[in-house]
């Protein structure tokens, strides 16, 4: 995945000047998914996705307006013209590519189980890599509705009892309160926003990171309507520049000490 991303970025950097756009961009984001996109105490939008969006807008020389949208309506809102692009930590997956296009990846994408430390003593996968649903027998796993994790657990762990959530924050609150025994989510958010904080002291990752491209895609990208080629080309070019000139690394380090896109880091 990283080799392909580096090659694509190198190619895009060599493109001609950004295509001129006739209008400013409306950006759809969830606005409830810290540290990626959320409102601070003053009601201002903040987060990694928001910083990336603002830098992209600057490189494209366009103004931005943000539209907050619940996750399950994110793609329908784009297709209905509610906004021009999605920047909301959306993974590039085969199913989504049937209805929308994506920019080059600007973040890695994967999943991982986390839950009580008693569950973490076992693995949800057998030695051959196949699912081992027995460790969740009599347990409930929390999943965000309409996410790639929802599809993954439905197809790979069909016998596991699942509780669906509209927001990740509510899901993690129920994990802490014992209303669910485990969750599946991106390991970046799980580590930085829960497991590494006092609230996560009694919890741990369960099993290895899952990076199955057929479910989680090659990474997270900006979602764009099919046919909006000028917007896609401009965003691709802007992201490639941000990664190449070190701006991406600066944004990354604002939130995490580790890279969320290995190809963006230069020694």
Q: Is the pLDDT confidence value at 35 over 60?
A: yes
d(CA 81, CA 16): 28
What does residue 238 show for φ and ψ, rounded to 5 degrees?
-65, -45
Query: Look-up: residue for tokens 């895009």?
Result: 12
Show Cβ contacts of residue 66 under 8 Å, excluding neighbours closer than 6 positions.
Answer: 26, 27, 28, 29, 31, 45, 50, 53
Q: Is the pLDDT confidence value at 171 over 60?
A: yes
pLDDT in tens, 116-138: 999 999 999 999 999 999 999 99
Percent of the chain whose pLDDT exceeds 90:
82
d(CA 218, CA 196): 26
Closest CA to 108 of 263, 267, 266: 263
**For 40-47, what is the mean pLDDT?**
97
Kindly report which listed range (23-27, 87-91, 142-146, 220-224) carries the lowest average pLDDT score. 23-27
Name residue 144's beta-bridge partners: 165
**Residue 2: per-residue pLDDT:** 41
Contact 48, 193 (CB under 8 A): no
**Residue 239: per-residue pLDDT:** 97
Write down the mean pLDDT value for the chain: 90
pLDDT in tens, 240-256: 999 999 999 999 999 98
d(CA 139, CA 119): 10
What's the topology of domain 111-215?
D-Maltodextrin-Binding Protein; domain 2 (3.40.190)
Q: Is the pLDDT confidence value at 151 over 80?
A: yes
Q: What's the predicted TM-score (pTM) here?
A: 0.77
**Residue 263: per-residue pLDDT:** 55
Contact 253, 127 (CB under 8 A): no
**Residue 84: per-residue pLDDT:** 97
Pairing of strands 140-144, 182-185: parallel
CATH code for the structural domain at 2-108+217-264: 3.40.190.10
**Residue 21: per-residue pLDDT:** 56
**Residue 168: per-residue pLDDT:** 92
- List every span in the chain annotated with CATH 3.40.190.10: 2-108+217-264, 111-215
Show Cβ contacts of residue 156 under 8 Å, excluding neighbours closer than 6 positions.
Answer: 131
**For 73-97, what is the mean pLDDT?**
96
**For 157-167, what is the mean pLDDT?**
96
d(CA 175, CA 182): 7
pLDDT in tens, 192-243: 889 999 999 999 999 999 989 889 989 999 999 999 999 999 999 999 999 9
């Amino acid at each position: 995945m990283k080799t392909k991303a580096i090659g694509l970025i190198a190619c895009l950097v060599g493109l001609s000047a950004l295509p001129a756009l006739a209008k400013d961009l409306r950006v759809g984001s969830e606005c409830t998914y810290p540290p990626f996109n959320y409102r601070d105490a003053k009601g201002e939008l903040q987060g990694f996705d928001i910083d990336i969006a603002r830098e992209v807008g600057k490189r494209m020389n366009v103004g931005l307006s943000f539209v907050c949208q619940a996750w399950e309506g994110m793609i329908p809102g784009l297709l209905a013209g509610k906004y021009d692009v999605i920047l909301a930590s959306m993974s590039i997956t085969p199913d989504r590519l049937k209805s929308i296009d994506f920019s080059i990846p600007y973040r890695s994408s994967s999943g991982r189980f986390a839950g009580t430390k008693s569950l973490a003593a076992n693995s949800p996968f057998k030695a051959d890599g196949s699912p081992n649903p027995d460790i969740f027998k009599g347990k409930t796993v929390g999943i965000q509705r309409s996410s790639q994790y929802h599809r993954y657990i439905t197809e790979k762990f069909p016998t596991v009892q699942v509780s669906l959530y509209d927001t990740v924050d509510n899901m993690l609150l129920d994990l802490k309160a014992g209303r669910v025994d485990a969750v599946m989510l991106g390991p970046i958010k799980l580590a930085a926003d829960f497991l590494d904080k006092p609230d996560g002291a009694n919890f741990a990752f369960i099993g290895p990171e899952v990076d199955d491209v057929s479910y989680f895609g090659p990474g997270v990208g900006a979602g764009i309507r099919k046919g909006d080629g000028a917007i896609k080309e401009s965003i691709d070019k802007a992201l490639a520049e941000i990664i190449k000139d070190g701006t991406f690394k600066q944004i990354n380090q604002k939130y995490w000490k580790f890279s969320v896109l290995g190809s963006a880091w230069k020694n």
